[in-house]
Amino acid sequence: MARGFSAHLKEVSARQTDRLVIFKDNKPVAVMMNVQAYQDLVDELEDLRIEAVARDRLTTYEADQAISHEDMRSLFEQGD
């Protein structure tokens, strides 16, 4: 890795390689990836977390306890 770092960095930054796993003593110790690929991964993970929370909340949803959109907006508009 040390000798070919520049070439590997160029491949990853150009997205010719999705990710590069770095090994030390035959064990994976790090992953190098393109910044945009990393951001895409973080965004997808956040979307999945939000979806999981929404799914969990739907299991306890009670329509008679819900607040209408208009009522919710009026609560926030009063604070202005």
**Is residue 12 in a domain?**
yes
**Is residue 68 in a domain?**
no
Per-residue DSSP letters for 19-32?
Answer: EEEEEETTEEEEEE
pLDDT (0 to 100) of residue 63: 87
pTM for this entry: 0.62
**Is residue 71 in a domain?**
no
Give the structural domain span for 26: 5-61
**Is residue 54 in a domain?**
yes
Identify the top-confidence range among 2-6, 7-11, 27-31, 58-62: 27-31
Angstrom CA distances, 31 to 18, 42, 43, 62, 67, stand at 10, 14, 18, 45, 46
**Is residue 72 in a domain?**
no
**Is residue 73 in a domain?**
no
Residue carrying structure tokens 């979806």: 51
State the total domains in the chain: 1
